[in-house]
Structure 1
Amino acid sequence: MYAIVNIAGKQFKVTKDQYVYAPKLQGDIDASVEFDEVLLAENDGTVSVGAPTVDGAKVSGKILDHVKGDKVIVFKKKRRKGYKKKNGHRQEFTKLLIEDIKL
């Protein structure tokens, strides 16, 4: 059983007991979260496609941690002009444990 769910504007293919790194969500650690924007669900070979979402389907999970991703270096340069700009960025993520998929 799996589902494709919209979490904070991004689509994830999730199964039960899977860890997902989603864009940062509001909520405390060990808080339960529920996502009702299920776009597609599969159960024992039968696929339900939503238009735009599957009615009555929900994915529940638990927030495990708030973490930062790897550092991305942004370097800009214009040749022969002496212009150099170095900048770094670390995206924030929320680590989720998918506990249940209800159809």
Structure 2
Amino acid sequence: MYAIVKIGGHQYKVAEDQTIFVNRLSSDDENITLDEVLLVKDEKGKVKIGKPTVKGAKVEAKIVEHLKADKVMVFKKKRRKGYRVKNGHRQPITQLQIEKIS
């Protein structure tokens, strides 16, 4: 069984007992419910597609921790001008454990 959910403007394919990393969620609760379920496929192979969301479907997840992603280097240069700038960026992310799809 899997579902496609919308979290923070991005779509993720999730299954039960799966760990995913999403953009930082501002929720202080340990458990969250994701209501924007776009597609659900059950064990029998039956697929329900939402218009735009599947009515009554929800995904329950647990916030494991808030952390930062790997560093991305940003390097800017203009040739023959002596201009070089090197910056780094670490995106804040949240680790989710998918517990139940219903």
Q: TM-score range by the shorter chain?
A: over 0.9
| CA deviation map 1:1-39 (0-9, x unaligned) | 0000001111110000100101100123x7110011000
What's 1:33 paired with?
32
**Runs of at least 5 residues in structure 1 that lack an aligned partner in the other structure:** none
Gaps of 5+ in 2: none
Indicate the RMSD between aligned Cα atoms, in angstroms. 0.9
Task: State the partner residue of 1:79.
Answer: 79
Cα shift readout 1:21-80 (whole Å, capped 9, x = no counterpart): 01100123x711001100000012000011110000000110000011110000000000
More strand by share: 1
Pair 1:54-2:63 in alignment: no
| Separation in 2, partners of 1:10, 1:93 | 13
Aligned to 1:65: 65
Is 1:10 the counterpart of 2:10? The answer is yes
Q: TM-score, normalised by structure 2?
A: 0.95
Structure 1 stretches of at least 4 aligned residues deviating more than 2 Å after TM superposition? none
